[in-house]
Structure 1
Amino acid sequence: MDIATRFAEALHERSGGPDDPDLLAVRLARAAAAVLPVEGVGLSVHGERDLRTPLAASSEVAATAERLQFTAGSGPCLLAAESGLPVFGTEAVLARRWPVFHDLLVTSTPLRSVLALSLRGRLEGVGGMDLYCADPDGATAVDVFAARYVAELVADHLDGAADWSVWTPTEAPAWVDTPDARRRGRLWMAVGMLTLALEVPAADALALLRGYAYAAGRTADDVAADLVERRLAPDRLRTGAGSEH
């Protein structure tokens, strides 16, 4: 059975039905994980630097890996989105090039390596697919041609969804407005709150959020949720109180 047929069958098995259009990205991530020799798959879109929005992941562990990379502020997935080329992040490469992300990944998940790919079609330059492996050298063991073909299948399905979606200046289609994307949206709300409360530029507010999260052993998304829900005062980030936890 060829990979396209296996992918189609895996996608059908994970169908959420016509009433769950927001689950399309989740189904695609899980189907990709089912046909490739990896432990997790994440899908995301990218804007300007730091404006990364996760669409979906095949598992909670894969979703956590994305949040950890965003907390670190750099990593193979961000580089692949910028360059448009596959990035092979073995554990040795992660430790050397992205030590903060490596530290977070190995202490918080069983994952040890990442193969990051960019998506083509309408999502070229903004879409990414990240493959996570438990093997420290797993990223180089994955057949990159098969992985890129699966990435094309994912992009084709997202392109098809875009054809039937209504885009307005104030509302994105349902398949973009996923639970993971909404979670990241709360982080940008938190950045806005910090900008106003601490009178700092948005880039500095994001850096404070990331630094506090790293010191606390948490993700930036989790700290942002505390800020938005008023469980954490903005001035705590300036004093570096995250190190208390």
Structure 2
Amino acid sequence: MTAAFVDLADTLVDDFDPVDFLYRVAEHCTSLLDISDAGVMLAPLGGPLRLVAATSERVRLVELFELDAAQGPCLAAYQDGVPVSHDLTVSGQWPEFTGRAHKEGYLSVYAAPVRLREETLGVLNLFRRIPAPLPEIDQQLARALADATAISLFQQTTLDHHRTLSAQLQQALTTRSIVEQCKGFLTARQHTDPDTAFQRLRTYARHHQRRIADVAADIVAGTLTVEDGPPQRPAKRPTPPVG
């Protein structure tokens, strides 16, 4: 937990990559919390909420469906600025989103706004495959991770007084588009699935200490080849014994 918060605080660098940072946020969520998948949505100032990072292709599709349908707990958490816990086995509220998420195997979701004081930048979306709300201790940690994410994004703007937070968030969305192109390229080229393709991309970028966006652009341009290999996933927190 300490290592995760230190990692999220380490943003005052010249080559700060907002997309790589937000993928790390999502990965820390899956490692520290009792969840199956996580997604991060952000909204450039004055713009609509957009998906920036997701830990799997399944959750990415659910998140995109939620944005397209303009309904769901993640949108509610962003609009109201307060956390939302939702049981996906109950179809009364947000029926279209609930049905799609349930179809993908998710049975509950917790959404924590990425918020600093009165400014809401986005939302952390945490999905579970069991029909139970996120434990209270995990809800508290999720809110702390969301707050740390907001502080880090604001803090990073001090490197350059001419850069605005809105420009950084727009850069994140642009970079994500490059990453998605690369995922599609690797999926077709290596005859694998999008999740495996992304893990190979992330593993290569980490191993060579390069920005994920730069590696993705080189792969799409044909100037870099990432060999097939087993993907590396973040360690999962062990489930505590019952009783």
TM-score band, normalised by the shorter chain?
0.5 to 0.7
Instruction: Read off the aligned partner of 1:151 and give its amino acid letter.
Output: A
Residue 126 of structure 2 corresponds to which residue in structure 1?
A: 131
| Residue from 157, 160, 166 that aligns with 1:162 | 157
Superposition misfits of 4+ residues, deviation over 6 angstroms: 9-12, 47-50
How far 1:58 moved relative to its partner?
Answer: 2.3
1:100 matches 2:107: no
TM superposition score normalised by structure 2:
0.59
Residue 110 of structure 2 corresponds to which residue in structure 1?
A: 115
How far 1:181 moved relative to its partner?
Answer: 9.4
Residue 78 of structure 1 corresponds to which residue in structure 2?
A: 75
Counterpart mapping for 1:1-245 below 5 A: 3=1, 5-8=2-5, 18=15, 22-46=19-43, 51-93=48-90, 95-107=91-103, 109-121=104-116, 124-139=119-134, 143-164=138-159, 167=163, 172=168, 174-175=171-172, 177-179=174-176
Q: Which runs of 5+ in 2 are unaligned?
A: 10-14, 181-243
CA distance in 1 between counterparts of 2:116 and 2:165 reads: 22
- Contact 2:50-2:67 within 8 A present in 1 as well: no
How far 1:60 moved relative to its partner?
Answer: 2.2
Greater RCO, 1 or 2 (C-alpha within 8 Å, sep 6+) = 2
- Contact 1:40-1:58 within 8 A present in 2 as well: yes
Q: Deviations 1:43-87 (Å, cap 9, x if unpaired)?
A: 112379992211212222222221121132200011111111111
CA distance in 2 between counterparts of 1:163 and 1:23 reads: 19
CA distance in 2 between counterparts of 1:65 and 1:114 reads: 11
- Contact 1:132-1:139 within 8 A present in 2 as well: no
How far 1:29 moved relative to its partner?
Answer: 1.3
Residue 193 of structure 1 corresponds to which residue in structure 2?
A: none
Q: Secondary structure at the match of 1:30?
A: helix
Q: Which runs of 5+ in 1 are unaligned?
A: 13-17, 184-245
Q: Secondary structure at the match of 1:143?
A: helix
CA distance in 1 between counterparts of 2:16 and 2:79 reads: 34
Residue 223 of structure 1 corresponds to which residue in structure 2?
A: none
Sequence identity, in percent? 25
My pick for the range that moved more, 109-118 or 134-143, is: 134-143
Q: Deviations 1:125-176 (Å, cap 9, x if unpaired)?
A: 2321111111122445663212211212222222233333553799546445
